[in-house]
Amino acid sequence: MRRVQVGSDESVQATASDAAAGKLSAASLGYFEDRFLEVLVGAAGAPVPGTAEATTPPVRRLPPIINRGNFARVSCMEKLVLEFIGTSPSHPSSVPHHVRGDGDEHPSHKTDCKESQSSIEEHLARKPQVISLGAGKDSLFFRLMDRGTAASGGYFEVDFPAVSRWKGGLVAKTPILSALANDLYKLVAADLRDITALEDALIIAGVDLAAPTIFLAECVLVYMEPADSGALLQRMGCLLPGLEPYPSLLSQEERFKKSGWDSANAIDMLQVFQELLDPAEVRRASKIEILDEIEEWELIMHHYCLVVAAKGEDTVARLSGNPVLSR
């Protein structure tokens, strides 16, 4: 992937095609199924309007080490979203014991038990929604809709106005996309550095401020100045990749907790690959291409991380069932 200058909107927007082309390389080899990427990358490798990126072929085969990394990236994001939106308030077992309020309670919890439980149930009764920050050419919504597993509360993709206009035009004129883009799907044109305008745009788009919400920021905030990404973190919440001031997993977790989050768990991408993903899928993907650079692969995966943070007992409950992320 090209190194971009922080603060250059044009070069940051160009990374949308880099990411999609990388995922398309992996998908074309069978690492995962995605029949929408080729359309999003473009039949002729067309660039996003308003950017200076070079036109590239739709399927550019990348090295095995990159393809396997994209498999881990796509698989873990999809797994977390499905786990979050798949939690149903109609299943009491989906809420941990201390949140449900049944059985023995800690003495400090008894006074507010009924009020807390009522608040949690009211919150969980609202339909979960997904807000993808800097979504670019991502295809997750269409993959979920294609399988009938999309978030019932809405799927909101946020990106620069130029990118949002381009994607909206592509969806409108492409049957394979427009057939799935129902009222749940909203493109939100906003600059992530302008928090007030971003919040206004999300509200106008129909975001339910009281609903369980998962924010995604997939390799996005590394292109923002730390002050801007920090402001976004405190106001909105997101999955935060590594930034220079936060070089360790512990520092990533502490950043969230100091910003007012109730829980934060960070694991590197090698641990994601080895422990979080479906073992059968990992074995299958590992057989697609021969990978000789094992040490380099492990080194690269150690340099990327997944951070999952949550606010509110009810939201923490949605993520606490994953043993890798709750230990």
Q: What domains, with CATH codes, occur in the chain?
A: 64-87+128-319 (3.40.50.150)
Residue with tokens 């409950």: 317
Q: Say what the pLDDT of residue 316 is.
A: 67
What does the block give as tokens for 228? 């801007």
pTM for the whole thing? 0.75
pLDDT over 50 (residue 113): no
**Confidence band for 20, pLDDT divided at 50, 70 and 90:** confident
Determine the Cα–Cα distance for residues 6 and 225; give it in Å rounded to an integer.
Answer: 7
Residue 104 among known ligand-binding residues: no
**Phi, psi dihedral angles at 269 (to 5 degrees):** -70, -20
**Confidence band for 103, pLDDT divided at 50, 70 and 90:** very low
Residue with tokens 């993959």: 143
Vertex 246, ends 243 and 249: CA angle to 5°? 110
Determine the Cα–Cα distance for residues 144 and 127; give it in Å rounded to an integer.
Answer: 16
Contact of 79 with 321, CB cutoff 8 Å: no
**113 CB-side CA count, 13 A:** 14
Instruction: For residue 173, count CB atoms less than 10 angstroms from its CB and return exposed for 0-12, middle for 13-18, buried for 19 or more.
Output: exposed
Q: Which residues pair with 189 in a beta bridge?
A: 159
Which of 50-64, 180-194, 299-313 ranks highest by mean pLDDT? 180-194
Q: What is the DSSP letter of 219?
A: S
Identity of residue 310: A
Which of 24-28, 246-250, 303-307 ranks highest by mean pLDDT? 24-28
Contact of 223 with 5, CB cutoff 8 Å: no
Residue 2 among known ligand-binding residues: no
Q: 245-273 burial, b for 16+ CB within 10 Å, e for fewer? A: ebeebeebbebbeebebebbbbbbbbbbb
Q: Cα 313 vs. chain centroid, distance in angstroms?
A: 21
Residue 122 among known ligand-binding residues: no
Report CA dihedral (292, 298, 303, 307) to the nearest 10 degrees. Answer: 130
3-state secondary structure of 220: coil
- pLDDT tens digits along 196-219: 999 999 999 999 988 888 999 888
pLDDT over 80 (residue 11): no
Q: What is the DSSP letter of 222?
A: G
Residue 50 among known ligand-binding residues: no
Contact of 221 with 241, CB cutoff 8 Å: yes
269 vs 48, more confident = 269
Identity of residue 326: S
Residue 225 among known ligand-binding residues: no
Q: What is the DSSP string of 253-314?
A: HHHHHHTT-SEEEEEEHHHIIIIIS-HHHHHHHHTTS----HHHHHHHHHT-EEEEEE-SHH
Average pLDDT over residues 89-106: 32
**Confidence band for 312, pLDDT divided at 50, 70 and 90:** confident
- pLDDT tens digits along 274-285: 999 999 999 999
β-pairing, 263-268 vs 129-133, is unpaired
Residue with tokens 């308030």: 89
What does the block give as tokens for 192? 């992530």
Type and span of the H or E element at 62:
none
